[in-house]
Structure 1
Amino acid sequence: MPVELRRQLAGIYHLPLKELLAAAWRLRLKNFSPVLGLATPGSKHYDSGDHRNDRRQFVTISITGQGCRLQCEHCRGELLQSMYPAGTPAALLQLGRRLKDDGCRGVLVSGGADLNGRVPLTPYLEALAGLKGLGLKVIVHTGLAGQATARGLKDAGVDQVLLDIIGDRETARRVYHLTMGPAEYGAALENFLAAGLKVVPHIVAGLNFGRLTGELEALYQVLSRDCRDLVLVVLTPLPGTPMAGVTPPAPAAVGRLLATARLAGPRLNLLLGCARPAGWHRLRTEFYALRAGVNGIAYPHEATLSRARRLGLQTFFSDLCCSLL
């Protein structure tokens, strides 16, 4: 089975792009209703003319503040800057109460990783349960959590866990400064599934300094297990990081990955996530994503809305995280 699935993925991936996208679109029409979810959570302002997001409804929280021991090459803690800080369990629960009173419906709890690639969640398990007790949707970005943390998150009642899957050991070393490879990321995925958690794996296209090296293996790690959702995001070069000047993968390359995921995962809830380059790259990537048969897109361009409707797709907006579409 492992060899067969890997061969299947490689065979699909190397089809001519036009043929690949056409097949993916046909399969999407066959297996899903003509509906496209559009996620606009509060980490960014969004106003398309026919929808303006309520930034209070879904917020991101860092339990390490702006600190991250791992200091990955693509981020260096920059992604933590815009999150609400909550450096203790008591602070997390207090923040949750305040956000709830202000109209919040859900939170993503994340933070910087330790030197083993784990977000230090264990001291926060009771506070996470407290957030659920307030009636909030609670999503947790975990890193490479072990079995005990997975069971603790299940007992806390979190709605989802998000896990980045890296399919290339050299990418993990160069970018995340970790010695782990695909097997270790697959094992972390297994820990969550064994605990009965809803896992939404993420794959970062171009994580290895803009090059595609291991994305198909990451897709294999997802599809070889009972995962029903997948979010694909695209490397976004951030100022102040070693990847600031990196060229991200071309939109057509992202479309090829998405179409491969659709054809290899016919029932997969496939989503184009919020992290991707802006400008022309964003628009072209979204156009490819539509034809690749995605079920949802985060922060869509206005032109993407028009194209989706011309393709016969009904659209709806949600101000929660795209993983909840």
Structure 2
Amino acid sequence: MPVELRRQLAEVYHLPLKELLPAAWRLRLKNFPPVLGLATPGSKHYDSGDHRNHRRLFVTISITGQGCRLQCEHCRGELLKSMYPATTPAALLELGRQLKDGGCRGVLVSGGADLGGRVPLLPYLEALAGLKGLGLKVIVHTGLADLATARGLKNAGVDQVLLDIIGDRETARRVYHLEMDPADYGAALENLLSAGLKVVPHIVAGLNFGRLAGELEALYQVLSRDCRDLVLVVLTPLPGTPMAGITPPPPAAVGRLLATARLAGPRLNILLGCARPAGRHRLWTELYALRAGVNGMAYPHEATVARARHLGLKPFFSDLCCSLL
């Protein structure tokens, strides 16, 4: 089966795009209702003719503040700067109370990684359970979680866990500074799944300095396990990082990956996540994603929403994380 699945992924991926996209679209129509989930969580302002988001309805929290031991090449801690800091369990629970009182419905608890690629969650398990006790939706970004952390998160009652899957050893070393191979990411995924958690794997297209390398293997790691959801995001060059001037993968390449995921995972809930380049790249990526048969996306362009309606889809908006669509 592993050899067969890898062969299937490679064969599908290399189909001509003019065959790949229509086949993916037909499969989407066959297996899913004609609706398109659109996520607009409060980490970014969103205001279109269709919807204006509530900035405090869903927020992102860093349990390490702006600190990250790994200092990955694509981020260098920049993504942590926009998050609410809560660097002790008591601070996390108090922040949760304040957010809940302000109308918040859910949180993503994340943070910088340690030198093993793990978000240091073990001291926060009781506080995470406390957030659930407040009635909040709680999603956790784990990094390479071990079994003890996975079981602790299950006992805390978190709603979902998010895990980036790297399908290329060179990418893990060059970008994340980790001597890990795809099997290590598969093992972390197994830890989370075996604990009974709802896991939403993420794949970053172009993570290796804009070059596609290992995305199909990452997709294999997801499809070879009992995963029902997948979020694909696209490398977004950030100022202040070594990748600031990098050219991300073109929209057509992103569309090819999404269509491959759809054909290889006919009933997989596939989402285009919030991290992707702005401008025309954003719009064209979304349009390719629609044709590739995604179930939803984050922060859609107005033209994408109009195109979805033209294709017969019924868009609906949610101010929660796209993984909850």
TM-score (norm 2): 1.00
Q: Which residue of 2 aligns with 1:27?
A: 27
Q: Quick one: distance in 1 between partners of 2:212 and 2:156?
A: 37
For the residue of structure 2 that corresponds to 1:230, the secondary structure is: strand
Q: Which runs of 5+ in 1 are unaligned?
A: none
Query: Following TM superposition, by how much is the alpha carbon of 1:242 offset from its aligned partner in structure 2, in angstroms?
Result: 0.1
Q: Which residue of 2 aligns with 1:133?
A: 133
1:190-210 CA-partner distances (Å, limit 9, x unpaired): 001000000000000000000
Q: Quick one: distance in 2 between partners of 1:73 and 1:79?
A: 12
For the residue of structure 1 that corresponds to 2:23, the secondary structure is: helix
Q: Quick one: distance in 1 between partners of 2:300 and 2:48?
A: 8
Q: Quick one: distance in 2 between partners of 1:62 and 1:188?
A: 21
Q: Which residue of 2 aligns with 1:90?
A: 90
Asked if residue 189 in structure 1 is aligned to residue 208 in structure 2, the reply is: no
Q: Please tell me the residue identity of whatever aligns with 2:198.
A: K
Q: Quick one: distance in 1 between partners of 2:297 and 2:145?
A: 27
Q: What is the correspondence of 1:34-183 to structure 2 with a 5 Å cutoff?
A: 34-183=34-183
Q: Quick one: distance in 2 between partners of 1:92 and 1:279?
A: 35
Q: Please tell me the residue identity of whatever aligns with 1:16.
A: P
Q: Quick one: distance in 2 between partners of 1:52 and 1:18?
A: 35
Q: Please tell me the residue identity of whatever aligns with 1:83.
A: M
Q: Which residue of 1 aligns with 2:250?
A: 250
For the residue of structure 2 that corresponds to 1:91, the secondary structure is: helix
Q: Which residue of 2 aligns with 1:223?
A: 223
Q: Quick one: distance in 1 between partners of 2:227 and 2:111?
A: 24
Asked if residue 297 in structure 1 is aligned to residue 310 in structure 2, the reply is: no
For the residue of structure 2 that corresponds to 1:81, the secondary structure is: helix
For the residue of structure 2 that corresponds to 1:283, the secondary structure is: helix
For the residue of structure 1 that corresponds to 2:162, the secondary structure is: strand
For the residue of structure 1 that corresponds to 2:3, the secondary structure is: helix
Query: Following TM superposition, by how much is the alpha carbon of 1:50 offset from its aligned partner in structure 2, in angstroms?
Result: 1.7
Q: Which residue of 2 aligns with 1:237?
A: 237
Q: Quick one: distance in 2 between partners of 1:79 and 1:117?
A: 16
Q: Please tell me the residue identity of whatever aligns with 1:58.
A: F
1:113-172 CA-partner distances (Å, limit 9, x unpaired): 000000000000000000000000000000001000000000000000000000000000
Q: Which residue of 2 aligns with 1:200?
A: 200
Q: Quick one: distance in 2 between partners of 1:263 and 1:213?
A: 20
Q: Quick one: distance in 2 between partners of 1:191 and 1:67?
A: 26
Runs of 4+ in 1 over 3 A off after TM superposition: none
For the residue of structure 2 that corresponds to 1:131, the secondary structure is: helix
Q: Please tell me the residue identity of whatever aligns with 1:247.
A: T
Q: Please tell me the residue identity of whatever aligns with 2:165.
A: I
Q: Quick one: distance in 2 between partners of 1:49 and 1:290?
A: 20
Q: Please tell me the residue identity of whatever aligns with 2:137.
A: K
Q: Please tell me the residue identity of whatever aligns with 1:257.
A: L
Q: Which runs of 5+ in 2 are unaligned?
A: none
Query: Following TM superposition, by how much is the alpha carbon of 1:86 offset from its aligned partner in structure 2, in angstroms?
Result: 0.1
Q: Quick one: distance in 1 between partners of 2:272 and 2:82?
A: 21
Query: Following TM superposition, by how much is the alpha carbon of 1:256 offset from its aligned partner in structure 2, in angstroms?
Result: 0.0
Q: Please tell me the residue identity of whatever aligns with 2:266.
A: P
Q: Quick one: distance in 1 between partners of 2:291 and 2:272?
A: 12
For the residue of structure 2 that corresponds to 1:139, the secondary structure is: strand
Q: Please tell me the residue identity of whatever aligns with 2:169.
A: R
Q: How many residues align?
A: 325
Q: Please tell me the residue identity of whatever aligns with 1:33.
A: P
Q: Quick one: distance in 1 between partners of 2:48 and 2:39?
A: 12
Q: Please tell me the residue identity of whatever aligns with 2:268.
A: L
Q: Quick one: distance in 1 between partners of 2:65 and 2:242?
A: 21
TM-score (norm 1): 1.00
Q: Please tell me the residue identity of whatever aligns with 2:283.
A: L
Query: Following TM superposition, by how much is the alpha carbon of 1:49 offset from its aligned partner in structure 2, in angstroms?
Result: 1.5
Q: Percent identity?
A: 90
For the residue of structure 1 that corresponds to 2:167, the secondary structure is: coil
Q: Quick one: distance in 2 between partners of 1:78 and 1:240?
A: 8
Q: What's the RMSD between the two structures over aligned residues?
A: 0.3
